[in-house]
Amino acid sequence: MTMPIDATEDIAKAICSDKFDAVSGEVSASLFKGSGSSVSRLSLCPLEETWEMFRQRVEKPPLRILERIGVINVGHLVEVGQNFENNPTTLTVEAVPLEGYLSHAEIPQKISRGLSNEIVKHLNLKQES
Amino acid sequence: MTFSKSVLPYKTASWLSSRTEESLLPRHRIAAPGDVAREQLVARKLGVNGWKRWQYFRQHFSGRWGDEGQCPVSPRSQQSLLMALESLNFPPEVKPSLFLTDDGHFELAWRDEEGKSVQMEFGPTEFELFMEESGIEETHPNGLLGEVIAKHFSSK
């Protein structure tokens, strides 16, 4: 059973040191490339708590550091997919709650490098204050 | 006096013998043959930041990593990256960013003179080229690396 997330919701993507060059500020286009990209729903886990949750789940200092969190509205993400000139793509975000990680969701569609670039451009990059 | 008589008998220092075997393992990766030439190549093309990221990935991502058991650095991806760096010539002010994909592939990203993104991902058997300006998004076998680079970047 799939449960699409409402277009009004915002989702957050962890951006770690393997996908972020802190000197140039560039984000890797491979961030969303492929299928089943994991995100977190900010409606269930506010940004302040998402920092802590991502730290526990994805960060492994000194190997892998959580550098930024990328935020995008689901409706905006869908528009980016539809407006992608090379290959208009219907994107959805599906709730995939995990044990201890209720806000977990996935973008099930296969995302090309070109489309991933477009999504990255539209991310609102958050840096912990 | 013969040479053998001049050599003092070997004795392990007490502080050394008390250490565990684990603690005696080298703390830094031992350089492999050709490493110096590779380091010079990476530093020349990617700058100090790129060199640091290359070493960071090589040293810390050689086993499964990340929350989803992402793939370790692929030695063949590195080989492909180094081959590409030998052929690619960036303007002095351009220092590409180096990333590691979840598949363990090295990825280069930089901006062309128009500020548009150029990206190359190096897999074990093939590589991907993305050029935002021309809308190019192609995958080629690694055997064509030199040819593709010459085609798109020869005058850059």
Q: Is the model's pLDDT at B1 over the cut of 50?
A: no
Q: What residues does A39 pair with on adjacent strands?
A: A105
Is 70 exceeded by the pLDDT of residue B19? no
Whether residue B95 and residue A24 make contact (CB cut-off 8 A), yes or no, is yes
| Shortest CA distance from A55: residue in chain B | B67
Query: B117 and A117 in contact by Cβ < 8 A?
Result: yes
Least confident of A41-50, A71-80, A104-113, B34-43: B34-43
Judged by CB atoms closer than 8 Å, whether chains meet at B97 and A63 is answered as no
CA distances from A59 to A14, A32, B114 (A): 9, 18, 35
- Give the pLDDT score at B31: 56
- Which among A30, A63, A64 is the nearest to B107, CB-wise? A30
pLDDT digits (tens, 9 = 90+) for B94-149: 989 999 999 999 999 999 999 999 999 999 999 999 999 999 999 999 999 999 99
What is Dmax (Cα atoms) for chain B?
A: 79
Distance from CA of B125 to the nearest CA of A (A): 18
Higher pLDDT, B47 or B3: B47
Percent of chain A with pLDDT over 70: 99
CA of A82 vs chain B CAs: smallest distance (Å)? 17
CA–CA separation, B144 and B84 (whole Å): 11
**What pLDDT does residue B65 have?**
84
Predicted ipTM of the assembly = 0.93
Which pLDDT score, from 0 to 100, does residue B22 have? 37
Residues in chain B closer than 8 A to A60 (CB atoms)? 65-66
A44-102 per-position pLDDT tens digit: 999 999 999 999 999 988 789 999 999 999 999 999 999 999 999 999 999 999 999 99
Q: Tell me: the pLDDT tens digits for B5-14?
A: 444 444 444 4
Domain boundaries, chain B: 34-62+69-153
Residues of A near B (CB-CB distance < 8 A)? 16-19, 21, 23-24, 26, 28-30, 33-34, 38, 57-58, 60, 62-64, 85-86, 112-114, 117
- Residue B74, both tokens: 């692929």
Closest CA–CA distance from residue A6 to any residue of chain B (Å): 26
Please provide the average confidence, as pLDDT, over all residues in chain B: 83
| Structure confidence at residue A95 (pLDDT) | 98
Task: Give the total residue count for chain B.
Answer: 156
CB spacing of A63 vs B60 below 8 angstroms: yes
DSSP structure string for B83-123? HHHHH----TT---EEEE-TTS-EEEEEE-TTS-EEEEEE-
The shortest CB-CB distance from B67 to any of A17, A57, A114 is to A57
The helix (run of H) or strand (run of E) holding residue A26 is none
What is the domain partition of chain A in residue ranges? Answer: 10-21+30-126
* b/e per residue A64-89 (b: at least 16 CB within 10 A): bebbbbbbbbbebbbebbeebeeeeb
Nearest to B35 by CA among B10, B58, B61, B3: B58
Distance from CA of A12 to the nearest CA of B (A): 16
Number of DSSP helices (H) and strands (E) in chain B, helices first? 5, 5
pLDDT tens column, A5-38: 999 999 999 999 999 999 999 999 999 999 999 9
Rounded Cα gap, residues B144 and B154, in angstroms: 14
Share of chain A above pLDDT 90, in %: 93
Q: Using CA of residue A45, residue A49, residue A55, residue A57, what is the dihedral sign?
A: negative
Residue whose C-alpha is closest to residue B130's, from B152, B146, B113:
B152
Phi, psi dihedrals of residue B88, rounded to the nearest 5°: -80, 135
